[in-house]
Amino acid sequence: MRTSRIFPLNNPAKFKEQLLTWGSRFSEVAWLDSNEYELETGEYEAVLAVEAFTAIKTDYQNAFDKLREYQETTADWIFGYMSYDLKNDVEDLHSSNFDGLHFPELYFFQPQKLVFLKEGKIEFQYLRMVDDEIEEDYNEICRLENLSVAGRKPVEVSPRISKEEYKNRVEAMLRHIHRGDIYEANFCQEFYAENVKIDALDIYRSLNQISTPPFAVYLKLENFNLISASPERYLKKKGRDLLSQPIKGTARRAANVEEDLRIAAELAIDPKEQSENVMIVDLVRNDLSRIAEKGSVQVDELCKVYTFRQVHQLISSVTARLAEGIPPVEAIRSSFPMGSMTGAPKISAMKIIEELEESKRGLYSGAVGYFTPQGDFDFNVVIRSILYNSQNRYLSFSVGGAITAKSDPEKEYEECLLKARAMREVLTNL
Which residues participate in catalysis according to the annotation?
Answer: 232, 248
Q: How far apart are CA 43 and CA 225, in angstroms?
A: 24
Distance CA 197, CA 395 (A): 9
d(CA 253, CA 210): 13
**Length of the chain in residues, anyone?**
430
Cβ neighbours of residue 97 under 8 Å, at least 6 residues apart?
Answer: 354, 357, 358, 359, 360
Judged on CB neighbours under 10 Å (0-12, 13-18, 19+), 158 is exposed
Whether the bond into 271 is cis, omega within 30 of 0: no
Alpha-carbon distance of 62 to 285, in angstroms, equals 25
Own/partner pairs, 10-17, CB within 8 angstroms, 24+ separation: 12/45, 12/117, 12/120, 14/146, 15/117, 15/122, 15/141, 15/142, 16/46, 16/117, 17/146
User: Packing angle between helix 200-211 and helix 409-428, nearest 10 degrees?
Assistant: 120
* Interatomic CA distance for residues 322 and 377, integer angstroms: 13
For the chain, the straight-line distance linking the first and the last C-alpha, in angstroms and rounded, comes to 47
Q: What residues contact 105, with CB distance under 8 A and at least 6 apart?
A: 58, 59, 60, 63, 82, 83, 85, 86, 362
| Rounded-to-integer distance, Cα 264 and Cα 260, Å | 6
> What value, to the nearest 5°, has the Cα angle with vertex 215 and ends 78 and 319?
85
CA–CA gap between residue 227 and residue 215 (Å, rounded): 11
